[in-house]
A and B are shown apart, each in its own frame.
Chain A
């Protein structure tokens, strides 16, 4: 019965709320562009230049400012989400790939793959506040809901590094499976999910127990080679009940029960699914599919893939703003 109710709610959302002005921004790594989708119709409404090799993409808490890691420009490009006007760039350190914005909207924590550091940048003064030495090839960045902890994953060191956001010092390190790509806290902060691309697992770390691993989620899809199951992007629903895991070249998104850590379903999306983002109302999940140049749209209530929308070349990251 719940399911029916949820489905009704979801389909209502598709047709109602014309006042919803939300937008979805997609960074296209190869196309050097940003595609903008309308949050209601899911149509492409605009495309603009995103700098050289745009990858990581995020927005300010008020949704007004868009930040993009322009990896080959070695800076963070900043745009107005309403006018698409480019604002002054932020320094990023070399080869920025992913970053995370403090929940307060400042500062920005940037992973610099080539330098084994995390750069902390004040988004207002555009000053570098700190450079934190981490492991080899820093990549994934996550922040705790209370903003006290930033997590960086280093791909060749195979660790999650927990950083105090006041002192900018590492206070804990946890070894995870090979090539950790992404870190995401549960909304209540009680669990930290770390995806391992080559290891093929998601480690669930316990912040209350010095970030020790309390569970490892594994994946298996009949007919898909185990090597192709490569977890990358991960998002947890606002109610904390479900986690979605992008499985890269397996072309699937896994749906995980965030309490039992059981994999409930595998949703077939586009090719080389990379990063994920929820719509502002949490009803839809957007996936970037790097090799098929599209974005798949998943209905969260039913776990159905509704449609796919063609975007630019090699979509990498995605963020939705209200």
Chain B
């Protein structure tokens, strides 16, 4: 566990420049606000594409950028921000979490699967606020939800709804749903069924692609794919688009051009819903991308944006409340005054019923973002952002 020192320069500058007007002007000692980012790496097969191989600092880099952003603001506020970066394995996560809690770190950004994330939240109890920046599972916002757990990662339901709104707007409402055989694929497929029902899509047929194991990438692997995948897709009922639910990353990236009918692929390949994309440039996002790339020498991933959003939420609360107090910051983050400017064209906030960050979802098609949902035609009585995902009346989260 190491603490970044970029807050020290901030402290010195604050002395030179003078503190912000108002209450902070009287504060002689800078307040230190500590956070951690904890990523849990489970062993598993490599992704289909080597372009998707995870960088060593996945997610950590986003947390680091948020800490630097917070520190720049903090030097005007008399606030320092420190970050501990931890990468754990499933067998070490409990001990690593214990270390963070013993050190008294009150904000922990977690990149892990849903069950591990819930366990970390339980272990933290009232001692820390946990941000889920990795798991998209709807279950983590429903039966597995926790009072000390907020989600900056979008839920499967939000991602599915974002794509569904676009498809319906295009009047492509006849879908062939192809899902993987892993539990997380089945959960994502369920999110697409729900989205179809919610927005008027019709799933004309479903197919399941069984994962029979083995290496994802082999030399000349494309030869077999080209022969086998079209046959798997043959003879489906008339459909306008293919919707792929493949969180396990077993087959979807192979689908475009290997369908039987000449149909567009969406979902886990082709047109993909995501919280972030390295080509996103609207609403000042270019500045964020440039800042990130300069820091980390690689394009940003959704996990980086999600970790950034979590710690920027802490920084935003600190500057608005002019406080470093855990209870004050936690309450502000959850409150109705909270608003995070995060390069999506409107303020983001946390849903009180399940702790989910409301956010527009990008629809990326390879090198560009093709669209952003919510699509403006889908209205909502409270916030258009709540047309994506699980709304208050339907939540299964009991806090």
Which A residues are within 8 Å of any B CB, using their own CB? 95, 113-114, 116, 133, 135-137, 154-159, 161, 169-175, 177-179, 197-199, 210-212, 225, 227, 249
Within 272-295 of B, Cβ neighbours of A (below 8 Å) are at 284, 287, 290-291, 294
Instruction: Give the contacting residue for A135; candidates B72, B320, B347; CB below 8 A.
Output: B72
A-B contact count (CB 8 A): 85
Q: Which residues in B have their C-beta under 8 angstroms from that of A175?
A: 20, 22, 77, 319-320
Instruction: Give the contacting residue for A156; candidates B69, B294, B320; CB below 8 A.
Output: B69
**CB closest chain-B residue, reference A71:** B286
9 nearest A-B residue pairs (beta carbon): A157-B73, A227-B346, A178-B341, A198-B341, A173-B20, A179-B341, A173-B76, A198-B347, A136-B72
**CB closest chain-A residue, reference B344:** A198
Q: Which residues in A have their C-beta under 8 angstroms from that of B316?
A: 158
Q: Which residues in B have their C-beta under 8 angstroms from that of A249?
A: 345
Q: How far is the CA of A262 from the CA of B301 in the complex (A)?
A: 44
Q: Which residues in A have their C-beta under 8 angstroms from that of B383?
A: 227
Complex contact B18–A158 (CB within 8 A): no
**CB closest chain-B residue, reference A249:** B345
Complex contact B341–A171 (CB within 8 A): no
Chief secondary structure at chain A's binding surface: loop
B21 contacts chain A at the CB level, 8 A cutoff? yes
Q: How far is the CA of A170 from the CA of B72 in the complex (A)?
A: 14
Q: Mark B210-248, 1 if CB is under 8 A from A, else 0.
A: 000000000000000000000000000000000000000
Q: Given the interface contacts A135-B72, A135-B73, A155-B284, does A170 sit within 8 Å of B384 by beta carbon?
A: no
By the criterion of a CB under 8 Å from any partner CB, how many residues of chain B are at the interface?
Answer: 29
Instruction: Give the contacting residue for B17; candidates A169, A210, A211; CB below 8 A.
Output: A169
Complex contact A198–B22 (CB within 8 A): no
17 contacts between A and B (CB under 8 A): A95-B290, A156-B312, A157-B72, A158-B73, A158-B319, A161-B76, A169-B17, A172-B18, A173-B18, A173-B20, A174-B22, A175-B20, A178-B339, A198-B341, A198-B346, A212-B22, A225-B384
Q: How far is the CA of A212 from the CA of B24 in the complex (A)?
A: 13
Q: Mark B1-21, 1 if CB is under 8 A from A, else 0.
A: 000000000000100011111
Complex contact B76–A199 (CB within 8 A): no
Q: Given the interface contacts A116-B72, A135-B76, A159-B73, does A172 sit within 8 Å of B341 by beta carbon?
A: no
Q: Which residues in A have their C-beta under 8 angstroms from that of B77?
A: 175
Q: How far is the CA of A27 from the CA of B290 in the complex (A)?
A: 23
The interface centre, meaning the residue of B19, B22, B72, B319 with most chain A CB atoms within 10 A of its CB, is B72
Q: Which residues in B have their C-beta under 8 angstroms from that of A137?
A: 284, 287
Q: How far is the CA of A179 from the CA of B283 in the complex (A)?
A: 10
Q: How far is the CA of A277 from the CA of B138 in the complex (A)?
A: 49
Q: Which residues in A have their C-beta under 8 angstroms from that of B17?
A: 133, 169-170, 173
Complex contact B346–A170 (CB within 8 A): no
Minimal beta-carbon separation of B324 from chain A (angstroms): 15
Q: Which residues in B have their C-beta under 8 angstroms from that of A136?
A: 69, 72-73
Q: Which residues in A have their C-beta under 8 angstroms from that of B347?
A: 178, 198-199, 227
Q: Which residues in B have their C-beta under 8 angstroms from that of A95?
A: 287, 290
Q: Which residues in B have their C-beta under 8 angstroms from that of A174?
A: 20-22
Q: How far is the CA of A319 from the CA of B71 in the complex (A)?
A: 36
**CB closest chain-B residue, reference A133:** B13
**CB closest chain-A residue, reference B383:** A227
Q: Which residues in B have their C-beta under 8 angstroms from that of A116?
A: 72
Within 68-84 of B, Cβ neighbours of A (below 8 Å) are at 69, 72-73, 76-77
Complex contact B346–A210 (CB within 8 A): no
Q: Given the interface contacts A116-B72, A156-B69, A198-B347, does A227 sit within 8 Å of B291 by beta carbon?
A: no
**CB closest chain-B residue, reference A171:** B18
Complex contact B290–A114 (CB within 8 A): yes
Q: Which residues in B have their C-beta under 8 angstroms from that of A171?
A: 18
Instruction: Give the contacting residue for A172; candidates B21, B73, B320, B339; CB below 8 A.
Output: B21
Q: How far is the CA of A261 from the CA of B316 in the complex (A)?
A: 27
Q: Which residues in A have their C-beta under 8 angstroms from that of B284?
A: 113, 137, 155, 179
Q: Which residues in B have their C-beta under 8 angstroms from that of A156?
A: 69, 73, 312, 341
Q: Which residues in A have their C-beta under 8 angstroms from that of B19?
A: 173
Q: Which residues in B have their C-beta under 8 angstroms from that of A227?
A: 345-347, 383-384
Complex contact A114–B287 (CB within 8 A): yes
Complex contact B18–A170 (CB within 8 A): yes
Q: Which residues in A have their C-beta under 8 angstroms from that of B72?
A: 116, 135-136, 157
**CB closest chain-A residue, reference B17:** A170
Minimal beta-carbon separation of A282 from chain B (angstroms): 32
Minimal beta-carbon separation of B248 from chain A (angstroms): 36
Minimal beta-carbon separation of B138 from chain A (angstroms): 25
Minimal beta-carbon separation of B360 from chain A (angstroms): 10
Q: Which residues in A have their C-beta under 8 angstroms from that of B21?
A: 172-174, 210-212
Q: Which residues in A have their C-beta under 8 angstroms from that of B76?
A: 135, 157, 159, 161, 173
Complex contact A155–B69 (CB within 8 A): no
Minimal beta-carbon separation of A164 from chain B (angstroms): 11
Q: Contacts A175-B20, A178-B339, A199-B339 given; 18 further ones with Cβ under 8 A? A: A95-B287, A114-B291, A136-B73, A154-B73, A156-B69, A157-B72, A159-B73, A169-B17, A172-B18, A173-B21, A174-B22, A175-B77, A175-B320, A178-B340, A198-B346, A199-B347, A227-B345, A227-B347
**CB closest chain-B residue, reference A94:** B290
Q: How far is the CA of A59 from the CA of B3 in the complex (A)?
A: 48
